[in-house]
Chains A and B, each alone.
Chain A
């Protein structure tokens, strides 16, 4: 079955970012049978900080990273802090191996106190995932506090974005990350200057 990883960087308890992430995942599930693995970065916040310092993930963080990198698709939601993604969200992205999200279908979401910061999606998240060579769906979903009390708007955006991710996933072969150990470049090719990209 198609797998999606859902990453939420929400810190509050309860968290509106978690709520948005769950709604997006449910939206995808309504269109396509998917297996969902949800990660709350708050639960591995220390592990992420330790990884920044030591250069390697703890066993717990490694399991989370493997889930995210190994999933066919990704839903990534961050609270807006100071007009950008949160530090924890970016730190998590920073501990992923280079190229590990390349080509992956991604749906981006953000929550915030004010609707005036909705462009965080297009000024902060979208360029980040563009750099990571992810395949980001056209619609991102921003939920300001006020959205949770207003009819329609938010639900429509969730449905549209989820359908876009489901559409991308439907036609696709399952994720197959390069395993540098399994298919080693033979020495004669190394000597000729060839490497894994």
Chain B
């Protein structure tokens, strides 16, 4: 099982001091968080992609390439890559390049994005959201697997004899997760390709995601990639920890109350009971995180959001220290009773090995 952090990359004033970091500070803070994630023993760092203030990460492969050069083991990912408004040709090129530079430590999560105006800014129509996600990814999938592509679709200029370069490292495309909050169509898409499905569950109650993930698992089996229990599932989580539970609540409350997205709405207590948010001791975070498995089945990737709503970098790095302490416990507990047929999340090494095996079998 993989553990990591994902960041939205918001530039938000710290509600306790009123201070807003500069873009430069926030970008460097994201890098510091990634380096720290590797240092404390996490497996994955994933950055968001946004094209409007107050967010900074508009250019994920630039950031991830820089982090790749400064890390050894960390898997670099996205949460999410906008499959609707980016040109799939450019995604194919950018992430293949990153794959080479990072020696394969790359995967990515497709998402439709949640900011309406991004569609027209990039010349698209939001009403085509699902259709863009389906068609663009279909092209991306081919660009990484076929050396020469002829292609024609509804949303992009046709291609004749096009070769996306560089070719994927070792001929193995990066593993893809499809991130989704509410669309059964995206669960169906992930299942069709046998890709991973990441339920971005941090802002919503679990009942909804149980249906979404079960649908993905059923359809994964339907399309012949393996049993429902072998489907590749990722989940979000949102935590704030202090040794003492009350200290965590006291310190986090002003950030919660003023947070973008859910601030000025439900109380911290209501929100923690309804969503994965856990504010408390490391032990409470362990317990809540382990409960995900009861609801969603054995899964492959757990990403935590720890750095939004104006939390200062120092505090975030302390959170990562605590994550570093609990992750070994989580690894042990998740491993206990995990059926042998449940796979780990694919990595470049495992995918390369599987490809070599398939080749050998064909011969």
Q: Say whether A and B bind each other.
A: yes
Among listed B43-51, B158-166, B183-191, B305-313, interface-contacting one: B183-191
Query: Do the beta carbons of B274 and A184 come within 8 Å of each other?
Result: no
Contacts of B223 in A (CB 8 A): 187
Q: For A188, give the chain B residue with the smallest CB separation.
A: B192
Minimum distance in angstroms from B270 CB to a CB of chain A: 7
Known: A53-B262, A53-B265. A190 touches B215 (CB 8 A): no
Query: How many angstroms from the CA of A108 to the CA of B106 in the assembled complex?
Result: 57
Contacts of B189 in A (CB 8 A): 187, 190
Contacts of A151 in B (CB 8 A): none
Q: For A192, give the chain B residue with the smallest CB separation.
A: B134
Query: Do the beta carbons of B203 and A193 come within 8 Å of each other?
Result: no
A1 CB within 8 Å of chain B? no
Category for how many chain A residues contact B = 20 to 34
On chain B, the number of residues with a Cβ less than 8 Å from chain A's Cβ atoms is: 31
Pick from A52, A54, A185: contact of B185, CB under 8 Å: A185
B130 CB within 8 Å of chain A? yes
Query: How many angstroms from the CA of A180 to the CA of B189 in the assembled complex?
Result: 14
A56 CB within 8 Å of chain B? yes
Query: How many angstroms from the CA of A180 to the CA of B192 in the assembled complex?
Result: 17
B135 CB within 8 Å of chain A? yes
Query: Do the beta carbons of A50 and B270 come within 8 Å of each other?
Result: yes
In the complex, chain B residues 96-140 whose Cβ is within 8 Å of any chain A Cβ: 130-131, 134-135, 138
Query: How many angstroms from the CA of A185 to the CA of B219 in the assembled complex?
Result: 11
Minimum distance in angstroms from B116 CB to a CB of chain A: 14
Minimum distance in angstroms from A91 CB to a CB of chain B: 13
Minimum distance in angstroms from B11 CB to a CB of chain A: 21
Query: How many angstroms from the CA of A55 to the CA of B188 in the assembled complex?
Result: 23
Contacts of A181 in B (CB 8 A): 184, 211-212, 215
Query: How many angstroms from the CA of A25 to the CA of B216 in the assembled complex?
Result: 42
Query: How many angstroms from the CA of A55 to the CA of B182 in the assembled complex?
Result: 11
Query: How many angstroms from the CA of A180 to the CA of B188 in the assembled complex?
Result: 11
Query: Do the beta carbons of A195 and B154 come within 8 Å of each other?
Result: no
Chain B facing A: main interface SS: helix
A176 CB within 8 Å of chain B? no
Query: Do the beta carbons of B135 and A59 come within 8 Å of each other?
Result: no
Query: Do the beta carbons of A195 and B131 come within 8 Å of each other?
Result: yes
Pick from B185, B208, B266, B274: contact of A190, CB under 8 Å: B185
Interface string of B174-218 (1 = CB under 8 A from A): 000000000011011101100000000001110010011001000
Q: For B134, give the chain A residue with the smallest CB separation.
A: A190
Query: How many angstroms from the CA of A193 to the CA of B219 in the assembled complex?
Result: 19
Q: For A195, give the chain B residue with the smallest CB separation.
A: B130
Query: How many angstroms from the CA of A54 to the CA of B263 in the assembled complex?
Result: 8
Pick from B131, B187, B208, B215: contact of A56, CB under 8 Å: B208
Minimum distance in angstroms from B113 CB to a CB of chain A: 15
Query: Do the beta carbons of A54 and B262 come within 8 Å of each other?
Result: yes
Minimum distance in angstroms from B213 CB to a CB of chain A: 11
Interface string of B216-252 (1 = CB under 8 A from A): 0001000100000000000000000000000000000
Listed A/B pairs (18) with beta-carbon separation below 8 Å: A50-B265, A53-B263, A53-B264, A54-B203, A54-B262, A54-B265, A56-B274, A58-B266, A58-B270, A184-B185, A184-B215, A184-B219, A185-B185, A190-B130, A190-B188, A190-B189, A191-B135, A191-B138
Q: Other than the known A184-B219, A193-B154, what 13 A-B pairs have Cβ atoms closer than 8 Å?
A: A50-B270, A52-B265, A53-B263, A55-B203, A56-B274, A59-B205, A59-B274, A180-B184, A181-B211, A187-B223, A190-B188, A191-B138, A195-B131
Q: Considering the complex of A and B, which 9 residue pairs feature the smallest CB-CB distances, nearest first?
A: A53-B265, A187-B192, A50-B266, A50-B265, A56-B204, A54-B262, A180-B184, A190-B134, A181-B211
